[in-house]
Chain A
Amino acid sequence: MSEKPRPELVTDGFPGKRRPRWVELATSADHKDLGRILIGGSLGFLFIALVELLLMRLQLAIPENTFLSPVAFNRMLSLYGTSAIFLFAIPFALGFFYYAAPLQIGARGTALPRLGQIGVALWVAGATVLYAGFLFTPSEAGINPLAPLTELAFLSNNGVDAWATATGLAVLGFVFVAIDLLTTLRNLRAPGMAWRRVPVFSWAATVCSWLLLVIGPVLLAALTMLMIDRNYDGIFFADGSGGAPLLWQHLSWIFFSGSYMLILIFAFGAISEIVAAFAGRPLLNRGVVMGSMVAIAVLGTLAWMQNMLTAPIGIGWMYFAMLMSLALIVPFGLIVFNLIATMFGGALRMRAPLLFALGAISSISIGLAAEIDHSMVAAAWQLKNTTDATAATHFALVGGAVFGGFAALHFWFPKMTGRTMGENLARISFWTMGAGLLLAFVPLFLAGGEQGQVIDAYKFYDGNGVNGYNLIASIGTLVLAAGIVMTLVNAILSRVNGPEAGHDPWGGDSLEWFTLSPPEPHNFDVLPDVRSAHPMRDIRDAIAHRDSRTDAPAHESQPVA
C-alpha cells in the first residue's frame, strides 16, 4: 500500500525548526522566562554594583586617598546606588515573585503576559541607558540625588538626564510587572484558593505589587518634573519663582521608603516559606504574618519623612514620621516572633536556603534596630547622614535583598533549573558573607555613631579617629564581595552540574512543588482542588493515606486531594 501524503497531519518535527534558545528567551512572554531574565539580570547587576562599591571602599581605605577623583567617586556612588536599588534589589524581588507566585497559586500563566513582557523590556532598556551613560558622563548627584543639585545650573552635563531616564524606564517597567502580577493573583488562583489560603510568598507578591502601584507613579512624576526642569526651563525644584527644592525630597523619599519596605516584605515572604518547609511544620499564625505585611507597606511608606528629620519641616511632621517608623516595630516584631515560634518545636533541616534565611533575619534585625535610633527625632539629628546610616541601611537591605534573596535563590533554584545548588559552596559562601557583612558595616556604625563621619564623602581626614574603622570596613567589603561571588559562581556551575532535584526537593507546602522542575510552559497538567493553606502537604498526606488505605479503617482516612 502506497503512503498517501496527508498534509493535514503533521507529526514529524512539530512545531518545525525551533529558534535559538536566547531568541526564545528574549521574545517569550512566559512568566517563568521573564522571571529568569529578571533574576539572572539582577544578579549580574549585583556583581557590577559590588565592583563599584569596592572601588569606593578602596578610595576610603586610607585618609585623604587620591585613588579616585571627587568626580569619579561621585559617579561611582550614583551608579552604585542606582544599580543596587533599581537594577538589583527591586527586580530581584520581582523576578522571584514573577516566577514563583503564579506557580504557587496554581495558575497556568499570567493574566497579562504581554504587559509583563513590556515591563521587563523597559527595565532592560533602563539598565542599558544607565550604563550607556559611561559613554558620555554618568550622574554625579548621589544615590537619591537631592534637588536642586540635580538642576541644570549645578550639573550641566547629561549624567542626570541619563539617570532620570534610566530610573524612569525601570520604574515604569516595575509598575507594568506589578499590574500583571496583581491581575494574575486576583483572577487566576486555583479552584478553592481563597485569599486566606494563598501562600505567604504570593501574598507578599500581592502586597508588594500594590505598593509599587502606589509609589512607582510618585517617583515617575518626580522624574518627569526633573526632566522638565532640566530640559524645558521648568521651575519645579528650582529655588525662586515658586519652585520648591523640598518637593523632590518628599516625592523621592515616598518611593525610596516604600521600596525599602518592598524589599523587606519580599524577604520575609521568602523566609516564611523557607522556615515552614525546613522546620517541617506550617507557619504559625499566617494570618498575623500576612496582616503584618500590609501594615509594613502602609506604615513604612507613610514614614517617608523619617529621611527628612533635618530638613526645614515642622516639628509636628517630624513626630508624625517618628510615630509611623516606630509603629513598624509591631508588625516586624510579630513576623519575626512567628517565624521563630515556627522554628521552636520544629525539626530544622539546616540546608542552604534555611541558613541564608536565618542570616537574613539576623542581618535585618541589626539594620532595623539601628533604624529605631534613626527614627528618634533628636537622635536622628546626630546620626543622620553619618556612616551610621550607611551601616543601618546596608544591614537591613543586604539582609533583605542579598541574604533573603539568596535564600529564595537556593530555595527555588531546583524548580527553575531542575538542579540543586552545591551545598558545600553555599555554606562557605554564607559564612564568608556573614563575616564580611559584620566586618564591613559594624566599623561604619562606630565611625558614624561615635565620630560622626559623614556619608557620601569622597575622602575623610586624618586625625578624626576613623582611620582604623574605614580600613576594616574596606577589608570587610572585600570579604563580603568574595562571599557573594561564590554564590554567583555556585549558581552558574549548578545550572549544569548540580545534583538533580526532583519536583519537590524540600517538601514544600505550596503548589509550585506539584509541577515538574523546571515546569512545562503551561505550568500544570492538572490542578488539584485547594482545601487548605498548604495544598502540597495535603497531597502528600493523601498519597500516604492511599498507600496504607488497606490497613487503616475507612473512617480514619481522609483523602483531601
Chain B
Amino acid sequence: MAPHSPGTDQISTLLTIGFVAAAIVVVAINVALVVAVRKYRAGRGAAPSPAGSGRRVQFRVGAVLTAFAAAIFILSVVFTGKARETPSSGPAGLAAAKTGPLTIKATGQQWLWRYDYPNGAFSYYKLVVPVDTAVKLELLSTDVVHTWDVPDLSGKRDAVPGKTNKVVFSVDEEGTYEGQSATLSGQAYAAMQTAVEAVSPQAYEDFLKQQKADIETAQDRVVDLIQHGEVP
C-alpha cells in the first residue's frame, strides 16, 4: 500500500504503531520462553524453587498491561478519528466540490461495481474522479455483501444491501489505482475488481459529458430498435 489520500496517510501511521506493538508482544514472550528453557532445564540448575511472585507483582504486571492496552486504544482512536475525517478539496480540485465533497454512488453487484455520478451518468468497473478533490462514495449493494477496497485511497468498507456505508478520500496524484472486492460474494468473487482513475477536474468534466452523451445515444438507439420491432 502506498498512501495517496489523507486518510490512508493516517492509516499507514497507525499500521506502523500496530506493527511495533505486535512486535513488542511477540519478542517479549518468545525471548522469555527461550530464556526459561535454556536456564531452567532440569539437571542444569537447582531443584524447583517453591517460592513464587506475590500479589504485588501481579498488580504491577496488570498495571503495565493495562497501560499498554490503553495507549494502543487512545492512539487508535486519535488516528481513526483523523482517518475518517472528510478531507477538504485543494486548490487544484474541482470547483464545484469546494464547499462539500463530490458525492458518487457506488453499487456492488455480483460481480461488478457500478458508479453513479451527480449528473446522471454512470460507469461500470472504473471510477473516474477529479484529483485533489474530496470524494464521498455512498456504498450500497443490490445483492450480497461486497467490500469496496482500493488500498491506496481508503480503508475497506462493506456494501450491504439495505444499509448505506460511506468512504471518503481525496486523491493527491493523477493516476489509476487498482482495487479488489474483499468479501466472498460467490463464484466470480476473485475477478470482482475495480479501478479509480484520478484525472484533472477539466478531464473529469469532459468524461462526465461524454459518458452521459454516450449513454443517451445508446438508449435512444435501443428505444428506436424496439419501436421498429427489433430486439437489440
CB pair A347 B48 closer than 8 Å: yes
Q: Which residues of B contact A370 (CB under 8 A)?
A: 22
Query: B25 and A330: CB pair below 8 A?
Result: no
A204-242 CB contacts (< 8 Å) to partner B? 239-240
A455 on interface, CB distance cutoff 8 Å = yes
Residue of A nearest to B188 (CB): A70
Task: Quote the shortest CB–CB distance from B56 to chain A (angstroms).
Answer: 11
**Interface residue tally of chain B, by bracket?**
35 or more
Judged by a CB distance under 8 angstroms, whether A159 is at the interface is no
B175 at the interface (CB under 8 A from A): no
Question: In the complex, are the beta carbons of A452 and B1 less than 8 A apart?
Answer: yes
Complex contact A457–B190 (CB within 8 A): yes
Q: Mark A423-460, 1 if CB is under 8 A from B, else 0.
A: 00000000000000000000000000111101111111
Interface centre among A240, A347, A376, A452 (most CB of B within 10 A): A376
A362 lies within 8 A of chain B by Cβ: yes
Q: Which of A276-334 contact B (CB under 8 A)?
A: 279-281, 284-285, 288, 310-312, 315, 318-319, 322-323, 326-327, 329-330, 333-334
B161 contacts partner chain A, Cβ-Cβ < 8 Å = yes
Specify the chain A residue showing the minimal Cβ separation from B79: A378
Which B residues, 134 to 167, have Cβ-Cβ distances below 8 Å to chain A? Answer: 139, 143-145, 147, 149, 151, 154-158, 160-165
A359's nearest neighbour on chain B, judged by CB, is B33
CA distance A369 to B22 in the complex (A): 5
B222 proximal to A (CB < 8 A): no
- Chain A residue nearest to B39 (CB atoms) is A344
Contact A373 B29 (CB under 8 A): no
Contact A312 B160 (CB under 8 A): yes
What total count of A-B pairs have CB within 8 Å? 248
CA distance A375 to B25 in the complex (A): 15
| Segment of B65-73, B201-209, B224-232 in the binding face | B65-73
Stretch at the interface among A14-22, A141-149, A186-194, A474-482: A141-149
- Are B11 and A386 in contact, with the CB atoms below 8 A? no
Q: Please choose the segment from B86-94, B119-127, B176-184, B212-220 that sits at the chain A interface, where 4 or more of its residues have CB less than 8 A away.
A: B176-184
Partner of A154, one of B65, B143, B151, B157: B143
Q: For residue B54, give the distance in angstroms from its CB to the closest CB of chain A.
A: 9
Taking a contact as CB atoms under 8 Å apart, the answer to whether A373 and B18 are in contact is yes
A362 to B31, CA, bound (A): 10
Which residue in A244, A285, A318, A345 is a CB contact (below 8 Å) of B58? Answer: A285
For B79, the chain A residues whose CB sits under 8 A away are 378
Chain A interface bracket (under 10, 10 to 19, 20 to 34, 35 or more):
35 or more
Cα A289 to Cα B13 with chains together (Å) = 35
Complex CA–CA separation, A285 to B60 (angstroms): 14
Q: Closest residue of chain A to B77, judged by CB?
A: A319
A74 lies within 8 A of B187 (CB): yes
Q: Does B155 lie within 8 Å of A149, measured CB to CB?
A: no
Contacts A239-B161, A246-B163, A334-B61 given; does A361 touch B144 at CB 8 Å: no
B128 smallest CB distance to A (angstroms) = 22
Nearest-neighbor residue (CB-CB) of B21 within chain A: A372
Q: Are B52 and A285 in contact (CB under 8 A)?
A: yes
Interface presence of A245 (CB below 8 A): yes
**Contact present for A281 and B184 (CB under 8 Å):** no
* B96, CB-defined interface residue at 8 Å: no
**Most chain A CB within a 10 A radius of its CB, from B35, B84, B189:** B189
Q: Kindly identify which residue among A142, A378, A385 contacts B11, using a CB–CB cutoff of 8 Å.
A: A378
A327/B163 contact (C-beta < 8 A), A361-B33, A378-B79 known: no
Q: Are the C-beta atoms of A142 and B62 separated by less than 8 Å?
A: no
A329 touches B11 (CB 8 A): no
Residues B25 and A369 in contact, CB atoms below 8 Å apart: yes
Are A460 and B190 in touch, CB under 8 angstroms?
yes
Contact of B158 among A311, A343, A373 (CB under 8 A): A311
B residues touching A (Cβ–Cβ < 8 Å)? 1, 8, 10-11, 14-15, 17-19, 21-23, 25-26, 29-30, 32-33, 35-37, 39-43, 45-53, 58, 61-62, 65-66, 68-69, 72-73, 75-77, 79-80, 83-84, 110, 139, 143-145, 147, 149, 151, 154-158, 160-165, 180-190
5 residue pairs bridging A and B, Cβ less than 8 Å apart = A315-B84, A340-B36, A341-B53, A369-B26, A382-B151
Chain A residues with CB under 8 Å of chain B are 70-71, 74, 77, 140-142, 146-149, 153-155, 239-240, 243-246, 279-281, 284-285, 288, 310-312, 315, 318-319, 322-323, 326-327, 329-330, 333-334, 336-337, 340-350, 358, 361-362, 365-366, 368-370, 372-373, 375-386, 449-452, 454-460
Given A146-B183, A376-B76, output 9 extra A-B contacts at Cβ < 8 Å: A148-B145, A329-B69, A336-B29, A347-B41, A369-B21, A373-B22, A376-B72, A378-B80, A378-B84
- Of all A-B residue pairs in the complex, the 3 with the closest CB atoms, nearest first, are A381-B155, A239-B161, A373-B18
